[in-house]
Structures are given as C-alpha cells and as structure tokens.
Structure 1
Amino acid sequence: MAHLRNQELVFRNPDKLARAREIQAAQRESFVDLYVSDLIVVPGDEVKAKVFAF
C-alpha cells in the first residue's frame, strides 16, 4: 500500500486536510468539555472506562 509508505500523500488534498483539522478540533473540544482539560492522567485500570466515556 503506497499510502502507508508515503504518509505525506495525505497532505496533497487541501480540502481533506482542512476537514481533518476541523474533526480533530471538534474531538479536542469534546474531550475538554468532558474532562475539563486536554490532558488527563488516570491509573491503568481506569483507562478503558475513560476512553469509552469519551
């Protein structure tokens, strides 16, 4: 698969790149809304629950 070997190919389509950045920003906003921070530290046994909550 050429797209896996040359990861820079994803940046060739500016529309898709802009949409990906919008999605990423929305996901970050949702995470911060849920956890009131963009970084959380939890014990290993709580990771699964936190991921599923998000």
Structure 2
Amino acid sequence: MHMQPYYESYDFIGVGISEKIFESGICLPSDTKMTDEDLNRVCEIIKGLWHK
C-alpha cells in the first residue's frame, strides 16, 4: 500500500517483495460502499482483459 499515490508521502520502513508484487500486480477497488453494479463493472473490465 505504501506505493499507492495516497500513501507515497508517508514514511515507510522496509524493502522487499512487496515492491515487486506492487509493480506486477493490480490494485482493485475495495470500498465497503461499492454497490453490486460497481462490483459487476470491475468484474466485466477484468474479464475483458482476457478476451482481447
């Protein structure tokens, strides 16, 4: 999380695999206020990545 724009100005102690995971992973929306419509939209976008 420390590499996301919102948190990048905060001090972080440590290095390691988390940076590699962040660089090769994907950050998905996870707000507790997400509606089913929001979740379905995220799912459809992700599914679309494999059908191109």
TM-score by length of 2: 0.34
| TM-score normalised by structure 1 residue count | 0.33
